[in-house]
Structures are given as structure tokens and as C-alpha cells.
Amino acid sequence: MSDLALESFKTTFHKGSLRERSVVTYIVPYGDSHVIVSETTPFHPRDYQWPDHPADRGFIENSLGRRYDLADVVFVGRDPDGNICVDSGIPAKKNDPGWSFCVGHVILGVRPNLSEGDPIILQVDNSYRWRLSRAHSAAHVMSFALNQSFAQRWRRKIPYIDDMGNPNFDAVALEKSNISPLSCVDRYRLGKSLKRRGFTVDGLKDDISRYEEEINRMIDEWMQNDAPISVESDGDNLTSIKCWNTTLDGVDVEMPCNGTHVSRLSEIGTIIVNFEIPDEETLIITTSVR
């Protein structure tokens, strides 16, 4: 087996690509499956540290037209000594010195009829990607509306202000985010550390339906002005810094993001936001699109 060379590895999911012709550069056995690495890939992998956005689905096709469905799409890491780690087996952070990362396409079962150097086609499932992208874009619109709606609840200035000028509740309190086709569930902590920063939770539970109505109304108004959505990236590496951009209420906004997105607000569809406070320390927001 050759070494995993990543110098020319490129991702294209952040540009909206669904299909690439490329070449197999590496194959590694992984449990009861094989992980295939190619020079270029349109596939968005599930992040091994913050798995909010599921992996793309789709297939790899070899030069004989044989298609292999992907069971998963994951991060593959190469440590400074050239050792290979896959997904949750990666012990490093993305910016640890000497580490490089690429996308691994997981094919279940016996070794597929693929060798290093083989030309392949990589095809993403368009409809699944589309539904995830709509949900993820909707979740970011919701975040800005949430920050605006909660702005009055901050008793102190915090150093995290979003592009609309509001204290960034979303960035400070978000604990977990779970995107699925056409919906996103965000879990926020309302605990002591948020209170220490100056956020007041008094009466929040009683006012929950008022906030819900306000946010839904705000989003409806913002969505009247269709604006482009783009993902800006400082490169085509898997760990290049990427930012989601659009215009909300006349303001250009951005947010760091490694996901996939639709290319206009109108492509999201109608956004419906739902609040739930299951206990004193937790706020769960479900953002659905239809």
C-alpha cells in the first residue's frame, strides 16, 4: 500500500458540487468495510468532532460502470508520522501541527473492485443533500432571529456580537445541533455560566410562546427579500476556513460553517420555528422547513 498523499486533495461540496470525476488515491480496510480516498470529492463528510450535519449519501462508480453505495462519509486523518486514523479514531484537533485531513468514502463488505490510480465517478444523492442543505440554511437564519429576539435579555455587554449587532446567544449557549432532512434541532444551555455572563432566564418559560411568535414573524419578514446564500472558503482543503454568507433585513451576515447550503433564501422554503423548555437549564429549538 502506498502512503496517503494529500498534497493535491480537494473538496468541492462547499461550492455546491454533486458530482466529480477523480482518481482513487488510497484504500484502507476499516472494520467490516473499506475506506476509499480520491483526489477530489464532492461528498460532505460527517465531522468527527461536531457531527451536526450528517454525511452525504451517494455512490462511487468504477470505470466498468459498477456502482458502490456509500455506507458513510467520514474524516480521515494523517498524523505527522504518516499513520492513518479514521473518524472517531482521530485523536487530534483539526489544527494540530503536522496533521492533514481528507474525506473517506466508506464501502461495506469485501474489497470493492477499485485500485489506487483507478478513474472513478463520485455522485452525491441530490435530493438528500438538498433537504439537508435547506434545513442547515434555515437553522442559520433562525440563529440570527434568536439573537435579535433575546437581545433585551442581556444585562451586560458580552464580547460576542453577531453581524446584525446583537449579542450572540446562539454562539454562547449552543450545546448541540442536529440537522436532518428538512429540520434542525438546536439544544441551548440556560445554566449558571450563561447567567454569569449576564443573560437573564427569568420569565423565559412563561414568555416562550411570545418569543416563538416573534421569531417566526421576524423570519417571515426577512424571507420576503430573497438574497443569495454563499459559502466562502479560504481554500479547497477539508479544513479550510469556511463561512456562510447571506443578507438578512438588509444586513450582510456571515457565520463560520462547514456544512452544505442552498444558494438563495427562497430555496429554503417556509421556515417554522418551535420552542421547548423541557427543564430549567435547557432550551430546545426545532427549525423545520416545508
Summarize as ranges the residues that interact with Zn ion (CB under 5 A). 257, 259
CB of 101 to Zn ion, least distance (A): 18
Return the SS3 of 220. helix
- Residue 230's identity, in one-letter code, is S
The stretches of 92-154 forming alpha helices (DSSP H) are 126-149
CB of 121 to Zn ion, least distance (A): 28
In DSSP terms, which residues pair with 248 in a beta bridge? 251
CB of 27 to Zn ion, least distance (A): 31
Nearer residue to Zn ion within complex by CB, 44 or 78: 44
CB of 206 to Zn ion, least distance (A): 31
Nearer residue to Zn ion within complex by CB, 45 or 259: 259
- Residue 6's identity, in one-letter code, is L
CB of 287 to Zn ion, least distance (A): 12
* 46's grid cell: 460527517
Nearer residue to Zn ion within complex by CB, 6 or 124: 124
Give the CB-nearest residue to Zn ion.
Answer: 257
**Would you say the C-alpha torsion 17, 18, 23, 25 has a positive or negative sign?**
positive
Nearer residue to Zn ion within complex by CB, 58 or 259: 259
Calpha distance 121→124 (Å, rounded): 10
Calpha distance 52→63 (Å, rounded): 34
Nearer residue to Zn ion within complex by CB, 137 or 149: 137
CB of 261 to Zn ion, least distance (A): 8
- Residue 77's identity, in one-letter code, is G
CB of 136 to Zn ion, least distance (A): 6
CA distances from 6 to 102, 128, 221 (A): 7, 28, 45
Q: Nearest Cα to 290, choosing from 197, 182, 160, 211? A: 182
7 secondary structure, DSSP code: T
Nearer residue to Zn ion within complex by CB, 42 or 259: 259
Nearer residue to Zn ion within complex by CB, 55 or 114: 55
Q: How crowded is residue 146: how many other Cβ atoms within 10 Å of its Cβ?
A: 28
Q: How crowded is residue 44: how many other Cβ atoms within 10 Å of its Cβ?
A: 25
